[in-house]
Amino acid sequence: MFAHLVAECLSRQAQSRVPEPELSGIDSLAQDEAFELAGREDGILASIYLYHAMQIAPLVCPGDRVLDLGCGPANQLVQVARLSPQAAFTGIELSAGMLRCAHRTIERCGASNVSAVRGDMTTLAGFPDGSFDCVISTLSLHHLPDEAALACALHAVRRVLKPGGGLYLVDFGRLKRARTQRFFSEDRRDVQTERFTRDYLNSLRAAFSVDELSRVAAVLGDGVMRYATAFAPFMVIFKSAARRDPDQPARQAARVLYRRLSASQQRDFRLYARWLRADGLALPFLPA
């Protein structure tokens, strides 16, 4: 990986964004199922999901209403909700297939403080102004068709978020080299399905650049900080200031989830945490 990161730093080329291909029928169903399995407790995304859940925990206070943009199969959302059981979480998802996966995940996990509804993140229609204490989005923004749609989504976020509310938006950043994109999508090919590998590459190709994300995110205000993985923007995070110190139940829930990870997943978690800490984003607490 280090060689690819060095090549990214030295590269002067820039790739154009390639929006994700439209899927229908059996292909769409296969994609939904592959992503749902990858996000489960034993899936390849479990360590990354726990990392983001821990970063979000200081932004959510007891009694809060939290909105998740593009919740997908809700594996990430359920992890976040486990660390803040006294808050109410709503996931919105435009894809009917993904929404079915989300309902299945919520029921399987017994997440009584989580719901998922059909909705468009570019408008957030049906949600009044200032109706949420916190808004989050994890790895969903690249699904938007273009920068104009991204701008609409972040304007809608600002509308529904209460003044002083919490904000956590994370997505891929567009890498400079096609070879680096292929490396990340294929690095764990032995433990991920071919369908997931293909979709992963499409997601990396559809990522917005750091400049594009930053330009549009300016609408969110000066209190939102931007972080990215060091050397190359594999992941870009926009995060507001902490609203509370995570309590002992949240810390204990994170420890339980961390201990359930396999040894290789725990290594992935630590690597990912170090990679973002190098750009100034430290974990709010340690899970072990």
pLDDT tens for the chain, 288 residues long, are: 878 888 998 898 889 999 998 755 545 666 767 777 777 888 889 999 999 999 999 999 999 999 999 999 999 999 999 999 999 999 999 999 999 999 999 999 999 999 999 999 999 999 999 999 999 999 999 999 999 999 999 999 999 999 999 999 999 999 999 999 999 999 988 888 888 899 999 999 999 999 999 999 999 999 999 999 999 999 999 999 999 999 999 999 999 999 999 999 999 999 999 999 999 999 999 998
Q: How far is 216 from 165, CA to CA, in rounded Å?
A: 19
Residues sharing a CB contact under 8 Å with residue 285, sequence separation 6 or more, in sequence order? 54, 246, 251, 254
β-pairing, 65-69 with 114-118?
unpaired
β-pairing, 235-239 with 161-172?
antiparallel
Q: How far is 74 from 100, CA to CA, in rounded Å?
A: 10
Residues sharing a CB contact under 8 Å with residue 60, sequence separation 6 or more, in sequence order? 66, 80, 83, 84, 87, 133, 134, 166, 243, 244
Q: What is the pLDDT of residue 26?
A: 47
Q: What is the pLDDT of residue 164?
A: 96
The residue assigned the tokens 């859940």 is 53
- The residue type found at 25 is G
Q: Is 19 exposed, middle or buried (0-12, 13-18, 19+ CB in 10 A)?
A: middle
Per residue, what are the HEC states of 251-285? Answer: HHHHHHHHHHCCHHHHHHHHHHHHHHHCCCCCCCC
Which run of H or of E encompasses 230?
none
CATH 1.10.12.10 fits 26-277, yes or no: no
pTM: 0.95
Q: What is the DSSP letter of 15?
A: P
At residue 135, φ and ψ (nearest 5 deg) are -125, 135
Q: What is the pLDDT of residue 42?
A: 80
Q: How far is 251 from 284, CA to CA, in rounded Å?
A: 10
Q: What is the pLDDT of residue 110?
A: 96
- The residue type found at 98 is M
